[in-house]
Amino acid sequence: MTATRHTVPALVGSVSVSRALKHWGWGYEDEQPSPEELRGAAQFICDRLGFGSPDPEQPVPLSEVSLSEPRLRPPPALQAICATDDYQRALHAYGSSYRDVVRAFRGRFDHPPDVVARPGDEAELEATLDWALSAGAAVIPFGGGTSVVGGVEAAGCESYAGVVTIDLKALDRVLEVDPVSLSARIQAGATGPLLEEQLGEHGLTLRHFPQSFQFSTLGGWIATRAGGHFATLYTHIDDLVESVRALTPIGAWESRRLPGSGAGVSPDRMLIGSEGTLGVITEAWVRVRPRPVYRASAPVRFADFAAGAEAVRALSQSGLYPANCRLIDAREAEVTGAGDGSHALLVLGFESAHHDVERSMTTALEVCGDHGGMWETRGTRGTRGDRDAAVGSWREAFLRAPYLRDVFVAIGVLSETFETAITWERFPAFHEHVVSDVTRVLREVCGGGSLTCRFTHVYPDGPAPYYTILAPARRGAELEQWAAVKRAAADAVIDRGGTITHHHAVGRDHRPWYDRQRPEPFATALRAAKRAVDPGGALNPGVLIDP
């Protein structure tokens, strides 16, 4: 069968150039809460958590911030696509971690990029790269800037002649759709909503929904091995990538479009997770699918997290592969309004474009029942339908979370997340150790706080636990508090055999623990690969490997 490819026309007016992004946190400047709304939210959060200040602090306006002078100026030929103004440099100085938000909120920009380039096509990207390399600059690829691990920050680039951050967001098109193989060729800078909007015109979807979906990009997902909403089977973007194209300092690196291949070390897998250190990803062929028509979801209560974990283990080994299988501990269910704090909650869901999923749900609920699970309602849906209140509350909280983090900073609540994966047989002891170590450090450093856990993804051989910390922050001392908590969490995870990250990437923040996790011969091979494609060591210095 011959594939009929549709070349997709450029979207007119698809890029919102008029709305300014907030330079210090999540979202657009024009969608920020009013002072009254902020005070109301602050009071609500303080009442619910039992700490934080009902009197929100205000961010330092950019007009009061003084950034260092840019060390580089773009050549005339690139001036139209380059910026050196304070707003663009501040906007691209950090990712979106708690630490990033705190520093930007306080007007602290220690090492902003000197130049922010926004190429409109691959030729402009190549010209930018050539200039930056010849000028002796460090180059930081930038998608949505939603990194939570210091992936886009120019820390440690002082020995370079300057830093050029390349923002990929003008490369935002779905270029081709192959409806026979169900694949699409998409430019790296397309954000979640933009690529879904364009695929939607073909009745197709990628269905990769990280919580940062609104602003993160396909290139960022591939560079960081992002995790989407599928709890099983297609957990990472890796599973959806057919081939990748990147520009490296020594030329283009493009893998073949193949459904699978056993030909040696995979050229696309090597770019997936390269975090901007091997090349700038420009586009990828990804596996797409029709939109789901049949859906079923149910909230299942368990007496405690351990009982829920046993049920999830059985589910993950049953061959049922639910699309959603998020086990949330009692405290997190309470904080998100999905429970009353007396039980753990499993948000279970199935979806399909082809067949009814009722039987799968019935079998899955039987498995849950065998492990003490209880449920009262069960939502069955065609393309749209009712959501159970608990499932709805959880989903709402999930979508609100990125905005809420900015409020936390303003009211003195330290919020941090860390995530990992571990095999089932080690999970109970691992979890106990992590909870005990981090809780102790929270007491010492913050005087208390909460540590909650949920499973974001599950595999037949183990879960991916995701921990959320909320604790009282001392205004002005948040960065020291954060560093102590981060160290305790990362040490606990690595000491007990987990991975330093299941889907948040390594960046600069996880480097010390990543260096402990990876085998030394692998580090030597990665270093050699980096030197081969990036002889000057210009691409995202400090991330993953030193040249």
Which of 96, 128, 324, 481 touches ligand FAD (CB under 6 A)?
Answer: 96
Tokens found for residue 12: 């007119």
Note whether 360 binds ligand FAD by CB under 6 A.
no
Helix (H) / strand (E) element for 91: namely: helix 86-91
- Please give the residues from 162 up to 201 whose contact with ligand FAD meets the rule CB under 6 A: 168, 188
Of positions 205, 212, 415, 481, contacts ligand FAD by CB under 6 A: 212
Residue of minimal Cβ distance to ligand FAD:
220
Segment 402-441, which members bind ligand FAD (CB under 6 A)?
Answer: 402
Nearer to ligand FAD, 308 or 402 (CB): 402
Of positions 273, 276, 299, 498, contacts ligand FAD by CB under 6 A? 276
- CB of residue 180 vs ligand FAD: minimum separation in angstroms? 27
| Nearest CA among 327, 298, 345 for reference residue 465 | 327
Residue 114 burial class via C-beta count within 10 angstroms: exposed 0-12, middle 13-18, buried 19 and up: buried
Using CB under 6 A as the binding rule, whether residue 336 contacts ligand FAD is answered as no
Pick the closest to residue 149 from 399, 527, 513, 496 (CA basis). 513
x/- letters, 100..139, toward ligand FAD (CB under 6 A): ----------------------------------------
Q: 416 - beta bridge partners?
A: 469
- For position 373 contacting ligand FAD by CB under 6 A, the verdict is no
What the block records as the tokens of 191 is: 């954000």
* 211 lines the binding site for ligand FAD (CB under 6 A): yes
Among 72, 194, 281, 438, binds ligand FAD (CB under 6 A): 281
Q: Is 24 in the site for ligand FAD (CB under 6 A)?
A: no
Which has the closest alpha carbon to 205: 214, 196, 213?
A: 196
Residue 61: Cβ-neighbour burial (10 angstroms; 0-12, 13-18, 19+):
exposed
The torsion angles phi and psi of 171, rounded to 5 degrees, stand at: -90, 85
Q: Determine the interface stretch with ligand FAD among 50-58, 222-230, 304-312, 491-499 (rule: CB under 6 A).
A: 222-230
Instruction: Output the smallest distance, CB 247 to ligand FAD, in A.
Output: 9
Residue 542 found at the interface with ligand FAD (CB under 6 A): no
Q: How many residues bind ligand FAD (CB under 6 A)?
A: 38
DSSP per-residue letters across 468-537: EEEEEPPTT-HHHHHHHHHHHHHHHHHHTT--S-SSS--TTTTHHHHHHHS-HHHHHHHHHHHHHH-TT-
The residues pairing with 142 across neighbouring beta strands, listed in sequence order, are 167
504 near ligand FAD, judged by CB under 6 A: yes
For tokens 């047989």, the residue is: 425
Binding site residues, ligand FAD, CB under 6 A? 95-96, 140-148, 151-152, 168, 188, 210-212, 216-217, 219-221, 223-224, 226-227, 275-276, 280-281, 402, 503-505, 507, 540, 543
